[in-house]
Chains A and B, each alone.
Chain A
């Protein structure tokens, strides 16, 4: 079956522009996560959606970052007024239950802010 997919695979934008990153989780997975991976750094948790519960936004680095998950499936991560320090690989993962189950990761979106 299909795994987690993300689009675009690469995004180059100019400082100050807004960007939207998309994640399609595995069908039927109730939990969805966004992470950021910067060069030489570990994966940094951003936000977590579990079913119809309020999302855990505790990892979002600033109010320029937001995410939504429509219909319990597709998720969009939006970064407003991008800065050069936002350049990183943004990874999405999904699980079939709580986060103590293994997470299935997408290939990531590489964001470059010029």
Chain B
């Protein structure tokens, strides 16, 4: 069974204090790993897709990296507006081979204080 574990569950940072969020996974036949941001009362908003170990992607203050067992979301010099829940999800082909399965972690709640 696919498992996606995100840590920490919650993280509180001061503005400008860089840190990393972790997403460790156990999945057979990974086809991609997604990062989403979710603000309270809203649906998740896509950030990145990573497809293979060693891949990195950046967007503003965020950088996502991928290894064979985990992904990190690095936040450099965060601002209060970066406060949100960050979700990761892993994608694999379903048992029948006809569909893809996306399994989400429970998320990390990030709070950035001014």
A-to-B contact residues, CB < 8 Å: 4, 33, 35, 40-45, 48, 50, 53, 56, 58, 91, 93, 98-100, 102-108
Contact = CB atoms under 8 A, between A and B. Distances in A.
B46 A102 contact: yes
19 contacts: A35-B104, A41-B106, A42-B87, A42-B103, A42-B105, A42-B107, A43-B87, A53-B98, A91-B44, A93-B43, A99-B91, A99-B99, A99-B100, A100-B32, A100-B91, A103-B102, A104-B46, A105-B45, A108-B42
Given A42-B105, A42-B107, A98 B43 contact: no
Contact of B99 (A50, A105, A108): A50
B114 interface: no
Q: Say what secondary structure dominates the interface of chain B.
A: strand
Pairs of residues from A and B, 10 with the lowest C-beta to C-beta distance, nearest first? A105-B43, A43-B104, A99-B100, A102-B46, A42-B104, A42-B106, A56-B99, A105-B44, A106-B43, A107-B43
Interface string B81-107: 000000101010010001111111111
A17 B94 CA distance: 33
Contacts of A106: 43
Given A45-B101, A100-B31, A102-B34, A4 B43 contact: yes
